[in-house]
Homo-oligomer: A and B are copies of this chain.
Amino acid sequence: MSKNLIIASTSTIYGSGYLEYLLPTLAKHFAECSEIIFIPYARPGGISHDAYTDVALKAFEKIGKRIVGLHTFKDPVSAILDAAGIFTGGGNTFVLVNMLYKTEVMPALRTILHQGTPYLGTSAGSNICGLTMQTTNDMPIAYPPSFKTLGMAPFNINPHYIDPIKGDTHMGETRETRIKEFHAHNDIPVVGLREGSWIQVANKKMVLHGEHTARIFTKGKDPFEIETGSLLSF
């Protein structure tokens, strides 16, 4: 009974292949799994479940792991409960969460992750590890029955975190302003995770990895940075 998750900001860093920067970490993380179930529900760019699964399959082949799409199972809940390892890819968080509720995979996933099934999330697949999906960057192109997500960490994730750009003339809100607005209505701490960063969750121990610092937002306080290698505690 020990959580075992990698919560990554992005699948892909600029100038590199899909999951490439994470493969050595994933070889260890999924050492005990020959087959990993891929949850393709977030459909980035609107691609099909099959096409998306193929992208994940090609990356995991490089570390000798078989990938099977969750959409190919008649009973996705049983498939999740029996999985040796699970990977949820990025795309649209609203579409993902809607499907996880519709298929009743959400509670099964929560149960099995608490029992220690190794998990990888990237982007939308990381958003769902937080208490709610309310700090996603995505458009609300589907209406899920709830914004509540897996609660594998006592905070929310903001993936693809990006700093305000000096001299930017665009008047849309910066990411920091958006998270400040979140805290005008909610108490949950938020971890702004830059591309190339990930959080490793080993039961209650949560450690920041990758080459960047992460930005921590808590209600009513100034945001601050934590170094890579640091423990996250709230």
Chain A contacts to B: CB under 8 angstroms: 10, 12-15, 43-46, 91-92, 94-95, 133-143, 146-147, 160, 162, 169-173, 177-186, 195
A186: which B residues are within 8 A, CB to CB?
141
Q: From known contacts A12-B171, A137-B172, A195-B171, infer whether A146 and B147 are also in contact, taking CB-CB under 8 Å.
A: no
Q: Once the chains are docked, how many angstroms separate the CA of A94 from the CA of B139? A: 11
CB of A156, distance to nearest CB on chain B (Å): 10
**Bound complex: CA A186 to CA B134 (Å):** 22
CA–CA, A183 and B43, complex, Å: 12
Q: Which residues of B contact A160 (CB under 8 A)?
A: 170-172
Bound form: Cα–Cα A174–B136 in Å: 15
| Known pairs A139-B136, A146-B143, A147-B140; A172 contacts B181 (CB<8 A) | no
Also in contact, A182 and B139, with CB within 8 A (given A169-B14, A171-B10) = yes
Whether A171 pairs with B141 at a CB distance below 8 angstroms is no
- A135–B143 contact, CB under 8 A? no
Using A46-B184, A147-B143 as known contacts, say yes or no to A13 and B171 having CB atoms under 8 A apart: yes
User: Which listed residue (B141, B170, B173) contacts A185, Cβ 8 A?
Assistant: B141
Q: Is the CB of A183 within 8 A of B46?
A: yes
Residues of chain B contacted by A182 (CB below 8 angstroms): 139, 141
Question: Which residues of B have CB within 8 Å of A173?
Answer: 44-45, 137-138
A138 touches which of B14, B45, B95, B178 (Cβ 8 Å):
B178
* Chain B contacts for A92, CB-based, 8 A: 181
Compute how far the CA of A146 lies from the CA of B135 in the bound complex, rounded to whole angstroms. 19
User: Told that A44-B181, A46-B183 touch, could you supply 5 new A-B pairs with CB distance under 8 A?
Assistant: A15-B169, A94-B140, A139-B179, A160-B170, A171-B195
